[in-house]
């Protein structure tokens, strides 16, 4: 699975996950498990540095995995949002978190390692009932429009970033126009449409920005309607 682009949506998830992982670190039942797993990882790392591939290091990593299984059960209990997000990959996320912190404390450039490790797949879209398999999104029948907008924002983060600058002529913002018109036709509130297009929800406490976003959404809807009428087949 490819890595997503850095977007406002992912920025919010990073803040949220940082808070959730801190909740786990502070949990009195999770703390000794974390220390135990970290000790196994540190021991294995030291052995591999000194001797290369070493059976003793492999045994320590096996013990770390066993400890991670117990810690994962605790994570499910105190951070269900992480369980929803990672699903069957939660145990791998837990091990990566503990190992990352331990290796970072040992002076390893963890950021460079992350680029070489395949990313985990998201199994559940936060704050929705939408889940993912390896092949597709699973959207419940009664999913509200607001959750569909969140799904669109999430999926957009995996698309290549467009070139900077405004596209010239009549094709400017064509994709956004079609998206805005479609969401408008589904009955979405303009606040939700604005968030889907920009990644930012309109803030009534900032009148100038709020009104500008409203005008932008209206322009996109109008343009989308024009495109739909132009593309409508004629007899």
C-alpha to C-alpha distance for 127 and 79, rounded to whole angstroms: 13
The strand ranges marked E within the chain are 131-132, 137-138
Contacts by 56-64, CB closer than 8 A, 24 or more apart: 64/37, 64/40, 64/95, 64/99
- Cβ atoms within 10 A of the Cβ of 36, count? 18
C-alpha to C-alpha distance for 196 and 55, rounded to whole angstroms: 51
Query: What is the per-residue pLDDT for 161?
Result: 65
Tokens 């998830």 belong to residue:
13
Distance of CA 120 to the CA centre of its chain: 10
Nearest to 195 by CA among 156, 227, 137, 140: 156
Query: What is the per-residue pLDDT for 57?
Result: 84
User: How do the domains of the chain map onto residue ranges?
Assistant: 8-125, 162-231
Kindly give the confidence (pLDDT) of every residue in the chain, 235 residues in length, as a single tens digit, with 9 standing for 90 and above.
Answer: 567 888 888 888 989 999 999 999 999 999 999 999 988 888 888 887 777 777 888 898 899 999 999 999 999 999 999 999 999 999 999 999 988 887 777 776 666 656 667 788 899 999 999 999 888 888 888 888 888 888 888 888 887 765 544 444 344 467 888 888 888 888 999 999 988 887 778 888 877 778 888 888 898 898 888 877 776 554 4
- Cβ atoms within 10 A of the Cβ of 234, count? 3
C-alpha to C-alpha distance for 25 and 56, rounded to whole angstroms: 28
C-alpha to C-alpha distance for 95 and 84, rounded to whole angstroms: 17
Query: What is the per-residue pLDDT for 65?
Result: 92
Backbone CA torsion sign across 60, 63, 65, 71: negative
Nearest to 75 by CA among 20, 113, 137: 20
């Amino acid at each position: 699975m490819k890595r997503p682009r850095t977007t406002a949506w992912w920025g919010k998830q990073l803040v949220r996950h940082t808070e959730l992982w801190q909740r786990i670190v502070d949990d009195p039942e999770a703390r000794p498990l974390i220390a135990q797993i970290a000790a196994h990882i540190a021991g294995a790392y030291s052995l591999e540095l000194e001797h290369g591939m070493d059976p003793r290091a492999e045994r320590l990593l096996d013990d770390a995995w066993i400890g991670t299984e117990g810690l994962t059960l605790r994570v499910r209990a105190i951070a269900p949002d992480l369980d929803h997000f990672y699903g069957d990959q939660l145990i791998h996320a837990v091990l990566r978190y503990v190992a990352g912190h331990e290796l970072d404390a040992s002076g390893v450039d963890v950021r460079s390692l992350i680029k070489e490790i395949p990313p985990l797949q998201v199994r559940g879209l936060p704050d929705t009932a939408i889940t993912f398999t390896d092949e597709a999104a699973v959207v419940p029948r009664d999913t509200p429009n607001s959750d569909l907008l969140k799904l669109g924002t999430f999926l957009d983060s995996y698309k290549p970033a467009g070139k900077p600058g405004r596209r010239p002529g009549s094709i400017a913002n064509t994709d956004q126009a079609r998206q805005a018109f479609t969401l408008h036709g589904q009955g979405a509130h303009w606040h939700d449409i604005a968030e889907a297009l920009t990644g930012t929800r309109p803030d009534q406490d900032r009148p100038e920005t709020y009104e500008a976003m409203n005008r932008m959404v209206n322009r996109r809807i109008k343009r989308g309607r024009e495109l739909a009428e132009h593309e409508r087949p004629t007899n």
